[in-house]
Amino acid sequence: MSVVVNRVRRGFYADSVALMRIARALSSETGVLEASLMIGSPSNKALLAESGLLAEAARDAQADDLVIAVRARDAARAEAALEAAERLLAGGGAPAQGQAATESAPGIAGFGAALDALPAANLALISVPGEFAALEARRALERGLNVMIFSDNVPLAEEVALKRRALERGLLVMGPDCGTALIGGVPLAFANAVPRGEVGIVSASGTGLQEVSCLLARAGCGVSQGIGVGGRDLSEAVGGLMTLAALDLLESDRRTKRIVVISKPPSPAVMEKVLARAARCRKPVVLCLLGAEARAGRKGIAFARTLEAAACAASGKRPARAPAARTARRGWIRGLYSGGTLCAEAQVVLMDEGHAVQSNAPVPGAQRVRRGAAGHRLIDLGADEYTRGRPHPMIDPTLRNEQLARVLRERGVAAVLLDVVIGTGAHPDPAGMIAQVLRGAGPRRPAVIASVTGTDADAQGYARQVATLRAEGAIVARSNAEAARIVARMVRKPSRSATRRR
């Protein structure tokens, strides 16, 4: 019989990534079955209750409290886990797996003290619970700072109000839910070590910005600025406010010579605004609106169907030669993605190659996954239904690896597509985690085709990640789009009998 215990730290906040790492460290302790650290907001308490981790001690926790929740085999182990959590919180959190702890920066008591310590600062990165993010962003704007909002769950009305206020003050609001930026050569949040250069990127997608910037780097090009705008910026409600403002900034930036805009298809009205603004730009613009149909007759605008094509157009390099034909396999395709935009790009490639596709995050032309329906399925494991109460798979690939082990045993599966995203904020060795699963799958497993988004300057090392995957028999493509093309040309529809599951 297990026991569940909670402890509440009143008026305490810590970064969500640090809390996830502490929870992972506690879960690895002997006798600890499950652990979670969350702020005491109503939605988080509901998650804890749904998971059976909410005890009486935390039912009155407030949104500015921290709840430490542990399920253990007995009370003694549960209490030991709570004490371990307290020590980790006092020490600044658990280091990332495979990384040593580093000395913490001197403590800063509040926003004003931070500005006193960095008087030349012109950007604030907001990573607090969504309930408080708009307030903090507004404070930063009023002090004349550009803002990057890493937080999600910010109300749409607040996003619109913040972005309008930023425009009034001549500032940028990147986000909410902005996971990636490259500002002045500095990678922020999930990003990669790429050289400075002449290509400016405006992106409503974090992994889209990462993939294009890394492909540019490997083509010998660099990035002047990588401006994330948040996934809702090109919606009807927000109206592309920051996308248009970012285009203005990059057009006036002397370092920037070419511009790439990355997004899933905008609303029709916003699409027209972006097209009109790009047509007026004095610099060449590449529009990569995944799943949207290309428009003709727009001077100075190139349309890219994929992230790979966008990087080629911006770098002036020709696309790589189509991969050689591989041994044909009959069966279904499964895609397990940590990057939502990489999942979207793979759907586009498979459909362009004549395959019907299902996904939990379908692009135009794809179908939503239906329970029990046969077919090719590409899953975005970073979507909300997979990350509620869990770390994002780029931080902790445990969920993806569990899914991978299951898919490798699934009858009728011919090939599995995977993305591996490295860089700041990401797991220290995602390829090593995948390799463990592949080693246990046996020789008769489906083909595994992967791509690595990253560079050799990243801490995980692009070449090391590629070598790790290849050592376990995975095919590693030069881009996410190429991986999808390889699979599309390898796989044929299975026979009826092969679709029966074990």
- pLDDT value of position 104: 44
Q: How buried is 318 (Cβ within 10 angstroms: 0-12 exposed, 13-18 middle, 19+ buried)?
A: exposed
For residues 262 and 201, the answer to whether their CB atoms sit within 8 Å is yes
pTM for the model stands at 0.86
Q: Is the peptide bond before 176 cis (omega within 30 degrees of 0)?
A: yes
Which are the contacts of 158, defined by CB distance < 8 A and separation ≥ 6? Answer: 134
> How distant, in Å, are the alpha carbons of 19, 27, 168, 459, 496 from that of 35?
10, 6, 45, 28, 43
Class of domain 197-318 as given by CATH: alpha beta
Residue whose token pair is 């590693």 = 476
For residues 146 and 206, the answer to whether their CB atoms sit within 8 Å is no
Residue 164, token pair as written in the block: 């309008």
For residues 192 and 253, the answer to whether their CB atoms sit within 8 Å is no
Phi, psi of 6 (to 5 degrees): -125, 150
For residues 473 and 439, the answer to whether their CB atoms sit within 8 Å is no
**Continuous H helices in 254-359:** 268-280, 307-315, 340-352
pLDDT tens-digit series, residues 65-90 = 999 999 999 999 999 999 999 999 98
Residue 308 neighbours by CB distance under 10 Å:
26
Q: Do domains 3-90 and 119-177 have the same CATH topology?
A: no
Phi, psi of 371 (to 5 degrees): -55, 125
The arrangement of strands across the sheet holding 180-183 comes to: 186-189, 180-183, 223-228, 196-203, 258-263, 285-289, 301-303
Question: What number does CATH give the domain 119-177?
Answer: 3.40.50.720
Residue 370 neighbours by CB distance under 10 Å:
10
Q: Which residues pair with 71 in a beta bridge?
A: 4, 34
- CATH homologous superfamily of 329-499 equals Succinyl-CoA synthetase domains (3.40.50.261)
- pLDDT value of position 31: 93
| 3-class state of residue 222 by DSSP | coil
Class of domain 3-90 as given by CATH: alpha beta
**Continuous H helices in 28-110:** 42-50, 75-90
The 8-class DSSP code of residue 497 comes to G
The pLDDT profile of the chain, 502 residues, written as one tens digit per residue, is 799 999 999 988 777 777 888 888 898 899 999 999 988 888 789 889 988 999 999 999 998 899 999 999 999 999 999 999 999 998 765 554 444 333 444 556 678 888 888 999 999 999 887 878 999 999 999 999 999 999 888 999 999 999 999 999 999 999 999 999 999 999 999 999 999 999 999 999 999 999 999 999 999 999 999 999 999 999 999 999 999 999 999 999 999 999 999 998 889 999 999 999 999 999 999 999 987 776 665 778 999 999 999 999 999 988 766 566 567 788 999 999 999 999 999 999 999 999 999 999 999 999 999 888 889 999 999 988 887 767 789 988 988 999 999 999 999 999 999 999 999 989 999 999 999 999 999 888 999 999 999 999 999 999 999 999 999 999 999 999 999 999 999 998 665 544 444 3
The H or E element spanning position 432 is helix 430-439
CA dihedral defined by 108, 113, 119, 120, rounded to 10 degrees?
50
Which are the contacts of 107, defined by CB distance < 8 A and separation ≥ 6? Answer: none
Q: Which residues pair with 149 in a beta bridge?
A: 126
Residue whose token pair is 């996003």 = 159
Alpha-carbon 10 to chain mean position: 31
For residues 379 and 358, the answer to whether their CB atoms sit within 8 Å is no
Round to whole Å and give the CA distance between 330 and 415: 9
- pLDDT value of position 390: 72
Round to whole Å and give the CA distance between 114 and 97: 29
The two beta strands, 357-359 and 447-453, are unpaired
- pLDDT value of position 103: 41
Domain limits, the chain: 3-90, 119-177, 197-318, 329-499
The two beta strands, 285-289 and 258-263, are parallel
- pLDDT value of position 225: 98
Phi, psi of 171 (to 5 degrees): -120, 170
